[in-house]
């Protein structure tokens, strides 16, 4: 991830690590999430893993349920370097 990119969630790296350890694809996780009520596609899970998409608290709960883990496992032990989004609100709203 380049230094100019904004981190949009904290769980992406852990999600990817856990998903791979369980030998699941992003499509597998998306399908499980959809069954639980969080309609998603493989590219949604991929964007979360790359920290390019924000994740709501409800989505976090459902992702943890889909992976059959405790939600605490999604929180990294070390927080990544944080870069504040200094763009004006009008630019942020366009995404």
**Using one digit for the tens of pLDDT, what is the confidence trace for 50-86?**
999 999 999 999 999 999 999 999 999 887 666 666 7
Question: How would you class 62 by CB atoms within 10 Å of its CB: exposed for 0-12, middle for 13-18, buried for 19 or more?
Answer: buried
**DSSP character for 81?**
P
Which tokens hold the place of 11?
């769980």
Which tokens hold the place of 82?
């944080």
Superfamily of domain 12-93 in the CATH hierarchy: lambda repressor-like DNA-binding domains (1.10.260.40)
Whether the model clears a pTM of 0.85, i.e. scores above it, the answer is no
**DSSP character for 28?**
H
What is the chain's mean pLDDT, rounded?
A: 88
Give the residue-averaged pLDDT of 33-52.
96
């Amino acid at each position: 991830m380049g230094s100019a990119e904004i981190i949009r969630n904290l769980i992406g790296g852990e999600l990817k690590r856990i998903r791979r350890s369980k030998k699941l694809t992003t499509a597998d996780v998306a399908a499980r999430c959809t069954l639980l009520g969080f309609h998603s596609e493989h590219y949604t899970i991929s964007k979360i893993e790359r920290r390019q998409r924000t994740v709501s608290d409800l989505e976090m709960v459902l992702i943890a349920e889909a992976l059959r883990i405790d939600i605490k496992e999604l929180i990294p032990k070390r927080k990544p370097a944080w870069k504040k989004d200094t763009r004006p609100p009008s630019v942020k709203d366009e995404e």
